[in-house]
Amino acid sequence: DSSANGTASSIDVVRKKLLGYVGFANLPNQVHRKSVKKGFEFTAMVVGESGLGKSTLVNTLFNTALYPPKENTEPSNETVQTVEIQSITSDIEENGVKLRLTVVDTPGFGDFVNNEESWKPILDDIESRFDAYLEQENRVNRRKMVDNRIHACIYFIMATGHALKPLDIEFMRRLHTRVNLIPVIAKADTLTEEEVVAFKQRILADIQHHKIQIYQAPTYEYDDEETMAENKEIMSKIPFAVVGSDKEVEINGRRVRGRSYPWGLIEVDNEDHCDFVKLRQMLIRTHMEELKEFTNNILYENYRTEKLQAMGIQQDPSVFKEVNPVQKMEEERMAHEQKLSKMEAEMKTVFQAKVQEKEAKLKQSEEELYARHKEMKEALDRQRLELEEKRRRLESGRPMTPEKSKKKGFSFNK
């Protein structure tokens, strides 16, 4: 009958949703293939006083001579009194996966007699990259968006073993809302193990005291225990005590990247010797996408909001009748998003109502079926008892008394 058919098909629908293979499990592969084809992009900035080993560390991190060996030039030119911004882009490939890596260097930072405003050209550069992205977003044709935003800023702290310098504090204070700050202790091989531990604590205390927000990896509920433990381990090493070296040294027949001293050898890639491995793991293996997402979703989004608000305040409605195009587009986008979420909510309600209706129907027919089943079972039980009784009588050889058979017949008819 039609209700039975309806029931059967609704069971099918529900089962397919829960158990059937639709194919969307392949989505990650699609994304993966597309990303591999497109390649990945990452832009990192290095900031720190001259000679702290920035170029060496970048070369060590990406295992390429991104920075050519330096000629013996004087570090700072007396006539140049500003921090420069230099960027090097390189396409690197590993197992067929392409990475377009851009490293932005800031020579001159902290090298002058007066370094009070050393942070300013760097902040300006970071913000102008946000502006360039904002400008592209507001274009009609958004197909070819170029993302030159800085995804991470590795800040080199001199291994003094004391505390952060006013220059470090000022830089981080000015920049922390605009970029993912990753502080590192440069040339950590110049400190003893105990000195590193104490210095790290002092740096973290200073950072907390000045309410500086350094990069923190987010934790997700869906992360498995292993991932959470790994994240915790990485975060516990910040500020990373790093050692860089692009030269190989031989030890017990092995060739390792390191720095040799009269008292022994510091291996760059040995976690017992320094935190270089952890920094590389975070930047490249585990958090590259997170750093990009945080830059886009939080840092850039905040900048954009501030900028739009500032524009709104400057605008006096009695003077300017025209609408600000940036604001208008933003409003339109929000209205569109609202419309979409309203439609989605409506669809959800309809869907839920349908599911409930089907469920009620199913329940009803289930009850009917059950009642029928019960009835039939009872009739069968009765029949079985009577047959057994009959057999007993037959086996004992005694014919049934007329009263009894009458009674039987009576109960049978009943």
Residues within the interface to ligand GTP (CB under 6 A) = 50-56, 70, 75, 107, 187, 189-190, 243-244, 259
- Looking at the Cβ atoms of 52 and 214, the one nearer to ligand GTP is 52
Whole-number Cα distances in Å, 26 to 14, 31, 95, 183, 224: 21, 9, 21, 39, 21
- Closest approach of Cβ 110 to ligand GTP, in Å? 9
- Closest approach of Cβ 233 to ligand GTP, in Å? 22
Contact 61, 283 (CB under 8 A): yes
Counting Cα atoms < 13 Å in the Cβ hemisphere of 317 gives 1
- Closest approach of Cβ 285 to ligand GTP, in Å? 21
- Looking at the Cβ atoms of 108 and 151, the one nearer to ligand GTP is 108
- Looking at the Cβ atoms of 66 and 203, the one nearer to ligand GTP is 66
Per the rule left: phi > 0, alpha: psi between -120 and 50, beta: everything else, 96 is left
Contact 80, 88 (CB under 8 A): no
- Looking at the Cβ atoms of 176 and 273, the one nearer to ligand GTP is 273
Q: What is the DSSP letter of 232?
A: H
CA distance linking residue 335 with residue 156, whole number of Å: 44
CA distance linking residue 284 with residue 220, whole number of Å: 19
Contact 212, 178 (CB under 8 A): no
Contact 370, 392 (CB under 8 A): no
The strand pair at 254-261 and 264-267 is best described as antiparallel
- Looking at the Cβ atoms of 30 and 63, the one nearer to ligand GTP is 63
- Closest approach of Cβ 287 to ligand GTP, in Å? 22
- Mark out the alpha helices in 236-324 (DSSP H runs): 276-280, 288-294, 301-314
Residue whose entry in the numeric block shows the structure tokens 């040339």? 187
Cis previous bond, 239, omega within 30:
yes
- Secondary structure element (H or E) that encloses residue 261, with its range: strand 254-261
- Closest approach of Cβ 187 to ligand GTP, in Å? 4
- Closest approach of Cβ 46 to ligand GTP, in Å? 8
- Closest approach of Cβ 70 to ligand GTP, in Å? 6
- Looking at the Cβ atoms of 75 and 264, the one nearer to ligand GTP is 75
- Closest approach of Cβ 348 to ligand GTP, in Å? 56
The strand pair at 240-241 and 97-105 is best described as unpaired
Residue nearest to ligand GTP (CB): 53
- Looking at the Cβ atoms of 56 and 118, the one nearer to ligand GTP is 56
- Closest approach of Cβ 69 to ligand GTP, in Å? 9
Structure tokens at 269: 């890639």
Structure tokens at 98: 């392409």
- Closest approach of Cβ 135 to ligand GTP, in Å? 31
- Looking at the Cβ atoms of 41 and 189, the one nearer to ligand GTP is 189
- Looking at the Cβ atoms of 54 and 287, the one nearer to ligand GTP is 54
- The two counts, helices (H) then strands (E), for the chain are 12, 9
Q: What is the DSSP letter of 107?
A: T
- Looking at the Cβ atoms of 80 and 369, the one nearer to ligand GTP is 80
- Looking at the Cβ atoms of 185 and 282, the one nearer to ligand GTP is 185
CA distance linking residue 353 with residue 233, whole number of Å: 48
Contact 58, 104 (CB under 8 A): no
Q: Which residues contact 179 (CB under 8 A, 6 or more apart)?
A: 45, 126, 150, 152, 153, 295, 299
CA distance linking residue 337 with residue 17, whole number of Å: 27
- Closest approach of Cβ 72 to ligand GTP, in Å? 10
